[in-house]
Structure 1
């Protein structure tokens, strides 16, 4: 036997030792992480109903004002995988605090900005906060007792939808009681400060950071195709879907994406392991996430536009921004409430089964709106059904996206799923804008009611497809379990 200190002896890498656990109430941990992730989601949607005010205050065009949303979307998509990986390398708590500090700085900068370039920089800083979700899910999986993990992940997964709904509500209140937009950013800054304090007190790292050298090339090659894809999606309506810039961006996203795969396969310590991305469970969860996000964000886009339309168009209710936000309140509330109980369902049923059931329910509001949209009650019924379906599916989807990976890969796997949500939400906005602008009432820029019916049909097909994919995933999971049990027996 070769002695361990002999020069030719194999070197045994020391195990990562867990730090001494610090007792924190699980409820406090989840609360802190929910406020952190909710703040990131809230800032995404809060500016959308106020674009016309941004246009006036910043002396820019409507196209320029829409970059207030696009800049945050692009930054969030890029930051999510990077921050998730850095959380593993340098500690999730540290990276959570950094994202929240950037959110606070960006919020203050947005409230003070007097020109479009400065405002876009502020929105970029805010966009980093979206990466808090995968970090938070990784922290929950590590810090909470096993019996509370599914519930914690469910609540966090639902904060994306509830945060977006809350953003609309805040912007509605700001529009109703003020003549500007800056109050939205002061509120965002206050929420960020509260989140910083709570995370600093409640969250800690049980597992010491692993350190290592960042995969800079892999990060750049992942950021590039995401930027190209989301930029083409977000600007397709303005530039023209068949225009050279849009087609060039889509082609570049494919080429750069393929280059990223080649580089990451050869990397010693890749940003995201290709095996994780190509795992059937990851592909299924990502498709489901994109499809459900399409339905959710198309609802958040279509319903306010529909309800704010003047009755002279033959539909709509001439709702104010605040009233339009109130129509979405059932969706946000039900997503939050159901996230608290989905963990109990996951103790009896597989995550795929719960997701399939939620997606099936989420087809109902689209079908309802397809045939009934003449009264305010119809909108409330649809918003309630949407909240029931998405509220059931999203929390379980958070578990479905990570249950096939080891705990060390939780944040990265969640980041992959978050990127799919970005793409689904971005596509929803682009498709909604394209369909509504292509079919307008003669002599006006208002969409026809038929244009909305087309969008309701598309959304129904998306959630139905998500239900089918989730059902197939559940069947495959049960088959694999049966095989494993027979082999063990």
Structure 2
């Protein structure tokens, strides 16, 4: 290994403006669809988990791997493919990622056993890299005056796609007992995105080139797998079990080795001196907290809506399709406000815009902690939450990359996306621990109070995001 020259944390100035896309509207549509497909595949199985338990005659803890494996695969793939996008071109990596996701969707659609389904879901999880790659492509190819709005629209697809995933699953599950049609639709949507990207996106922008940091990639992958696997399986295996403690120890050791390698190699996978600066740290911490709240909402609403009120005294006695229908208002408001966020950012900056959106998200979860008896309560929550997420995620996409040089925008956005995934894993583990610890006597059904606690924690997470983002806005007002 060769010692790298010292690197300043100040972002280098880009020598030239990006070469503008000749068809920015079509390019934005293609990238937005690619981002939407990536987000849809993350949540489309959540309403199906109880059904998969019966289909494959297995336990709940085993079936949760259908969701967990996508988080692990996405966590490993996101920084690697984002960095490769900076090195070899965003279009090449976007088309590769979409192709892998389509292959995974087809494998899931053909799966007749749980092992094959989990393998297909791992391939689908690679799609988590699509949104950071798309953000990098926008910085490369869009006129500067359109970059903020375009990043906002693509970033908002994270929340829109997540809500649509549950809606599509609900509609299909209402007409068939099989899980396979859901994955055929995901494969078809992926092919549409692949075709549009191939036809419209131009591979412009500077490429860093060089050789990939394979040792750094292996160490980072090992660290992420140990960390996220320990978090996601802590409730099932036991937080003090040898397996979980061993994973956390392994994560610490591998992280230390990875940092040591990245500080010494000439061409590191991640430029630590650049990406751990004050602005990057605040953007990534905000992403962690907001990702926590979003994923907490997805998992909590899915189970609460399907809880039989007559039997336990709370819930909405809904089914899979109802989960999707209650998320419909958030889909609409996310789309509307993500498109308007560019104008807001132009006036007050990305930091204050993120703070505004996060505060609205906190209000939505606060509402749900207080009012959760009727479907109207959940429709109000959904509309308000979608407004906040539409503004917040749109601003977060800009905040993650606006201070870094063009040639590392992919990895900067990728790290931000990775941290958001970690926040989702923490949310899943924490809410599961609370719901399993507070149950109705003689049953395994969580108490109503357990859900209220979880809604409150999600509100606090979003509120802390607003504080971090406001601090970022005050500190970097001039920029």
Query: Please, which of 245, 248, 251 is the counterpart of residue 250 of structure 1?
Result: 248
TM-superposed CA distance for 1:25, in Å, is 1.9
Greater shift in the superposed pair: 187-196 or 274-283: 274-283
TM-superposed CA distance for 1:20, in Å, is 11
Cα distance in 2 for partners of 1:20, 1:84 equals 18
Cα distance in 1 for partners of 2:63, 2:163 equals 21
Residues 464 and 18 from structure 1, CA distance in 2 versus in 1: closer, same or farther, beyond 3 angstroms?
A: closer
Are residues 1:241 and 2:244 paired?
A: no
**What's the TM-score once normalised by structure 2's chain length?**
0.94
Measured against aligned partners, the alpha-carbon deviations of 1:337-379 in whole angstroms (never above 9, x if no partner) come to 2111101111111100101111111111122122211121111
Q: Is the 2:332–2:386 Cα contact (8 Å) retained in structure 1?
A: yes
Task: Tell me which residue corresponds to 1:63.
Answer: 61
Query: Please, which of 70, 77, 80 is the counterpart of residue 79 of structure 1?
Result: 77
Tell me the secondary structure at the aligned position of residue 433 of structure 1.
helix
Query: Please, which of 175, 182, 187 is the counterpart of residue 173 of structure 2?
Result: 175
Residues 119 and 409 from structure 1, CA distance in 2 versus in 1: closer, same or farther, beyond 3 angstroms?
A: same
Cα distance in 1 for partners of 2:16, 2:190 equals 29
Greater shift in the superposed pair: 59-68 or 39-48: 59-68
Cα distance in 2 for partners of 1:382, 1:285 equals 26
Two-structure CA RMSD over aligned residues (Å): 1.8
Cα distance in 1 for partners of 2:421, 2:282 equals 16
Residues 476 and 208 from structure 1, CA distance in 2 versus in 1: closer, same or farther, beyond 3 angstroms?
A: closer
Are residues 1:414 and 2:417 paired?
A: no
Residues 17 and 464 from structure 1, CA distance in 2 versus in 1: closer, same or farther, beyond 3 angstroms?
A: closer
Matches within 5 A, 1:116-195: 116-195=114-193
Cα distance in 1 for partners of 2:178, 2:99 equals 25
TM-superposed CA distance for 1:432, in Å, is 1.1
Residues 201 and 19 from structure 1, CA distance in 2 versus in 1: closer, same or farther, beyond 3 angstroms?
A: farther
Task: Tell me which residue corresponds to 1:380.
Answer: 379
Q: Is the 2:341–2:391 Cα contact (8 Å) retained in structure 1?
A: yes
TM-superposed CA distance for 1:204, in Å, is 1.2
Cα distance in 2 for partners of 1:463, 1:473 equals 15
Residues 191 and 352 from structure 1, CA distance in 2 versus in 1: closer, same or farther, beyond 3 angstroms?
A: same
Cα distance in 2 for partners of 1:74, 1:262 equals 23
Task: Give the number of equivalent residue pairs.
Answer: 465
Name the structure, 1 or 2, with higher relative contact order (CA <8 Å, separation 6+): 2
Cα distance in 2 for partners of 1:190, 1:460 equals 36
Are residues 1:348 and 2:347 paired?
A: yes
Q: Is the 2:18–2:143 Cα contact (8 Å) retained in structure 1?
A: no
Q: Is the 1:289–1:417 Cα contact (8 Å) retained in structure 2?
A: yes
Query: Please, which of 83, 104, 107 is the counterpart of residue 106 of structure 1?
Result: 104
Measured against aligned partners, the alpha-carbon deviations of 1:25-77 in whole angstroms (never above 9, x if no partner) come to 21111110011111111111111111233233334332222111111110001
Are residues 1:276 and 2:274 paired?
A: yes
TM-superposed CA distance for 1:194, in Å, is 0.4
Tell me the secondary structure at the aligned position of residue 241 of structure 1.
coil
Tell me the secondary structure at the aligned position of residue 274 of structure 2.
helix
Q: Is the 2:69–2:118 Cα contact (8 Å) retained in structure 1?
A: yes
Cα distance in 2 for partners of 1:463, 1:454 equals 14
Are residues 1:211 and 2:209 paired?
A: yes
TM-superposed CA distance for 1:23, in Å, is 5.0
Cα distance in 2 for partners of 1:257, 1:358 equals 33
Cα distance in 2 for partners of 1:215, 1:173 equals 44
Gaps of 5+ in 1: 1-15, 482-489
Task: Tell me which residue corresponds to 1:42.
Answer: 40
Q: Is the 2:330–2:382 Cα contact (8 Å) retained in structure 1?
A: yes
TM-superposed CA distance for 1:332, in Å, is 2.1
Cα distance in 1 for partners of 2:192, 2:379 equals 32
Q: Is the 1:92–1:205 Cα contact (8 Å) retained in structure 2?
A: yes
Measured against aligned partners, the alpha-carbon deviations of 1:361-412 in whole angstroms (never above 9, x if no partner) come to 1111122122211121111111111111121111001111111101111111
Tell me the secondary structure at the aligned position of residue 354 of structure 2.
helix
Cα distance in 2 for partners of 1:59, 1:340 equals 45
Cα distance in 2 for partners of 1:148, 1:97 equals 23
Task: Tell me which residue corresponds to 2:313.
Answer: 314
Q: Is the 2:18–2:205 Cα contact (8 Å) retained in structure 1?
A: no
TM-superposed CA distance for 1:19, in Å, is 12
Residues 302 and 277 from structure 1, CA distance in 2 versus in 1: closer, same or farther, beyond 3 angstroms?
A: same
Cα distance in 2 for partners of 1:236, 1:102 equals 30
TM-superposed CA distance for 1:475, in Å, is 1.0
Larger Rg: 1
Cα distance in 2 for partners of 1:147, 1:319 equals 45
TM-superposed CA distance for 1:18, in Å, is 9.0
Cα distance in 2 for partners of 1:62, 1:371 equals 30
Tell me the secondary structure at the aligned position of residue 177 of structure 1.
coil
Measured against aligned partners, the alpha-carbon deviations of 1:169-203 in whole angstroms (never above 9, x if no partner) come to 11111210111100011001100110111000011
**What's the TM-score once normalised by structure 1's chain length?**
0.92
Cα distance in 1 for partners of 2:91, 2:211 equals 19
